[in-house]
Amino acid sequence: MQAQKLGAARQPAFRSGKACVRPARRTAVKTNAALKVMISGAPAAGKGTQCAKIIDKCRVRVATYNANVDAVVGYYKDVMVEVDGTKSMNLVFEAIKSALDAAILKTDPMEQFCADKPDSDECRGSLPPVEQKPGLTQTEDILNSILPPREWTEDGQLWVQYVSSTPATRLDVINLQEKLDQQLQQRQARETGICPIREELYAQTFDELIRQVTINCAERGLLLLRVRDEMRMTIAAYQTLYESAVAFGIRKALQTEQGKSEMESRITQLEADVKDLERQVQEWKFKCEAIEKRESERREVDAKKHKDEVAYLENYAKQLKQQLETFLVPAKKTGAPTAS
């Protein structure tokens, strides 16, 4: 990502990757053990916090100068012992100053750049006095609280990107709309349904609109900020509910699959038991039919035998009766004269 000079605001544009659709100015921050040079003002904060940070930076710079002075004094200790008088002391001070400048230039190449181009924007913006540096306006404070500055490291340098406070014109809004349509088409965002790409682009556009509105009316911008936060919380809540519902559905589906396999195995077992019982029923049915047939035949035989026995006994009784009558008739005939 190429660096821009202080105060050079970009036009509203989309960036692929992490969303940042707002114009911004970039501020280089170089940090090392000896010197810390800020090309621009402090990050977004209240005025009291900003002053405290500037004071801390000044203290760091003073401590760095003191350390360099101590180093130079130690290095030129022998020279200071030998010299005597004001003229010689001035010579020592000049030597100390030249050595100190050399140490600073060696420590940070930005000082050499400022020495060559003292009127450049970068050098004019490096740690100005607190009383000469204009503090952040209320609009800038609100913008930085709505859209916090971005920080990243590139080529060993720390870069800070602030939101531009330049008001947007009607042409900027038209360009923003055209850029939105162009990005939606280039990144192949879906027109309907859930689409992360479309959500990202519209979120960037809404942030840019909040920035433009906040510059013109801070209260309206804060109200839009509340709307944006509420919308994001609602989406997050629905997303949480959706994830919970999906997890619940998956869990129930797994339980159903497990129960389904168990029920299928149980159904198979029961079907086998039913078939076995049906086979046993058929066997017992055949046995019952055989027993009924055998008993029927036996009853027929017994009935026929009983009938024959009854007929025989009746015939035998008839014969006995005839014999008895035969014996009784002659006795009657013989006993008749005896009675007379």
Q: Residue 201, Cβ neighbours under 10 Å: how many? A: 21
Domain ranges of the chain: 24-163
In this prediction, residue 85 carries a pLDDT of 45
How does pLDDT run across 230-271, given as a tens digit for each residue? 999 999 999 899 999 999 999 988 888 888 888 888 999 999
How does pLDDT run across 222-241, given as a tens digit for each residue? 899 899 999 999 999 998 99
- Tell me the pLDDT band of 27, cut-offs 50, 70 and 90: very low
Token pair in block for residue 28: 């280089």
Q: Residue 14, Cβ neighbours under 10 Å: how many? A: 21
**Rounded Cα distance, 52 and 30, in Å:** 19
Name the pTM for this structure: 0.40
To the nearest whole percent, how much of the chain has pLDDT over 90? 27
Q: Mapped to the 3 state alphabet, what secondary structure does 217-252 carry?
A: CHHHHHHHHHHHHHHHHHHHHHHHHHHHHHHHHHHH
**Rounded Cα distance, 39 and 159, in Å:** 10
Contacts 24+ apart (CB under 8 A), 206-213: 207/19, 207/21, 207/22, 207/146, 207/147, 208/12, 208/21, 208/22, 208/176, 210/146, 210/147, 211/22, 211/23, 211/143, 211/146, 211/147, 211/163, 211/164, 211/168, 212/167, 212/168, 212/172, 212/173
**Rounded Cα distance, 319 and 122, in Å:** 159
Pairing between β-strand 24-31 and β-strand 36-38 as defined by DSSP bridges: antiparallel
- Tell me the pLDDT band of 278, cut-offs 50, 70 and 90: very high
